Structure 1
Amino acid sequence: MVTFPNAKINLGLLITEKRPDGFHNLQSCFYPVGWSDALELIPASETAFSSTGLPIPGEPMQNLCVKAYDLLRRDFDMPPVHIHLQKNVPIGAGLGGGSADAAFTLRLLNDRFALSLSVDQLENYARQLGSDCAFFVQNRPVYCIEKGDVFREIDLSLSGYYIVLVYPNLAISTAEAYARIRPQQPEHPLADLLLQPITTWRNTVHNNFEASLFPTYPVLASVKEQLYEAGAVYASMSGSGSTLYGIFDAPPADLNQFAQYRVWQGKL
């Protein structure tokens, strides 16, 4: 069985406070985009993990896909599988690629072995693997609060717009990004700002990590400005970096300025 774990972007990201458990509360809208990995489950005599495409750091058997399998294996009698991942979405890019791989592994195992897990059950398993893993169970636009794993409905659609994702060959760890952040309560809830016309977002919808990371990594600010110069109606960094994205009314005609970076574009 094969599936295609897709990335997500953050439409705004406000870090509002540090929690007693060491995590942070936030406000954001997670929005799925089409840049995808490929994930395959193969019958095997013992559980194994392999990958092609972009190199994945760490021990193979410590990959989140394997951890997803092990999590379900504790509660269900599943046979061994060989998990193979074609890694296309950059790592340390703020796109949730690893989280998507883990959540899609849960979904694939649920289908393959007829575990009959509900959406709520799958989301609860996913929350044990990472704060944004649960989003990829339903994989639709949602407003996120608390650690990013509690969801609220939001009437927001970018259907008809085009998106360009630019990964400037720079991985930023979540730990580094959060070490620089200063939580603060927003003047207006992000949900209210996102319901305004997208033409207003440039001045109102922000990613808090930009203020702390742009001075250290000037390429991020440069790429964001280049996206606006290319005609984006809104541009931002996604997650805790380092991917920048631009949302366009029409496919941009010329992206040669990003030729040295990894770029993905498609329709929302």
Structure 2
Amino acid sequence: MILFPNAKINLGLDILRKRPDGYHDIETVMVPVPWCDVLEIVPAKGSETTLTVSGRKVECPMEKNLVMKAYRALEAEVSLPPVDIYLRKIIPDGAGLGGGSSDASFTLLALNELFSLGYNREELARIASTLGSDCPFFIYNTPMLCTGTGTDMEPVELDLKGHSILIVKPQVSVPTAAAYSHTTPAIPSTPIRDIIASPISSWEGRLKNDFEPSVLPAYPAIADVKRSIKEMNPIYTAMSGSGASVFGIFGNDILSPVIRERFQGCDTLVATL
């Protein structure tokens, strides 16, 4: 079985409060975007489950990879035969795009289908939530308002069809824990759910990412990317998650050759939503 785990972007990200458990309550809208890894799962040739990773280099032992953690989490609930898993990494890591989380959730989806386990989406999302706060989103993989630590979700009506998206990830990474440590939680005057309900042309200046005030000054490369995207006159632009990727949403097609020239040395995606 072959699947294509996709990335996500965050439309707005409000950090509301720090919780007693050390995590943070947030509000954000997550939206799937067509930047994809490649995941193949087949019956094992041997007696043990294996994971082979190609493409982008991943500095992670096999058992600590979220794909293997997903297999082990499901194996703890139901007897699973061994499988050989092949993962080709294309989505940049350290980008705020949820690539590893997507790989994990798609692994759960694939195993559920491959072995006819009968889990519904809610049950898979429950298992996914034990792997990471972004993971449950990818079980549903549709625009969602995410609250709590990001694992409480409700669908949102959002139609970006006909728009183009540019995502640029400079060659830097932002540690998520460090990014949170430099933020100041606060309740916004206008909730994200209300801003998202208004036309996209009204988002700029209203729909914010609470990581940007501390991340952009600390990482000039990210600030430079955002500045360059804004010079292209997008309808809306922002950093995704805690960075390091920045995206712009446009109402017209974007020419890829121009993008490659402008953002040399960066990972880029140009796609139609």
Q: Same fold (TM over 0.5)?
A: yes
Question: Residues of 1 paired with 2:177 and 2:232: CA distance?
Answer: 32
Q: Equivalent of 2:270, from 261, 265, 268? A: 265
What does 1:1-268 correspond to in 2, within 5 Å? 1-44=1-44, 45=46, 46-253=48-255, 254-255=258-259, 256-268=261-273
The one-letter code sitting in structure 2 at the alignment partner of 1:27 is E
Shift, 1:123, TM fit: 0.5
Question: Residues of 1 paired with 2:134 and 2:123: CA distance?
Answer: 15
Question: Residues of 2 paired with 1:6 and 1:153: CA distance?
Answer: 18
Deviation digits for residues 131-183 of structure 1 (CA, Å, limit 9, x no counterpart): 11000001000111111111123221111100011010111121121121111
Deviation digits for residues 217-247 of structure 1 (CA, Å, limit 9, x no counterpart): 1221221121121121111000010000000
SS in 2 for 1:39: strand
Which stretch shifts more, 35-44 or 254-263? 254-263
Shift, 1:60, TM fit: 1.5
The one-letter code sitting in structure 2 at the alignment partner of 1:18 is K
Contact 1:48 1:61 in 2 (8 A): no
Q: Normalising to structure 1: TM-score of the pair?
A: 0.98
SS in 2 for 1:95: coil
Contact 1:230 1:252 in 2 (8 A): no
Shift, 1:30, TM fit: 0.2
Superposed CA RMSD = 0.9
The one-letter code sitting in structure 2 at the alignment partner of 1:22 is G
Corresponding residue pairs, total? 268
The one-letter code sitting in structure 2 at the alignment partner of 1:64 is L
The one-letter code sitting in structure 1 at the alignment partner of 2:270 is Q
Contact 2:54 2:89 in 1 (8 A): yes
Question: Residues of 1 paired with 2:175 and 2:85: CA distance?
Answer: 25
Shift, 1:65, TM fit: 0.5
The one-letter code sitting in structure 1 at the alignment partner of 2:2 is V
Question: Residues of 1 paired with 2:112 and 2:95: CA distance?
Answer: 28
Contact 1:103 1:134 in 2 (8 A): yes
Shift, 1:259, TM fit: 2.0
The alignment-based identity, stated in percent, is: 41
Which stretch shifts more, 170-179 or 107-116? 170-179
Structure 1 spans left out of the alignment, 5+ residues: none
Contact 2:172 2:221 in 1 (8 A): no
Contact 1:231 1:252 in 2 (8 A): no
Which stretch shifts more, 218-227 or 22-31? 218-227
Shift, 1:103, TM fit: 0.2
Contact 2:39 2:103 in 1 (8 A): yes
Which stretch shifts more, 86-95 or 216-225? 216-225
Q: Normalising to structure 2: TM-score of the pair?
A: 0.96
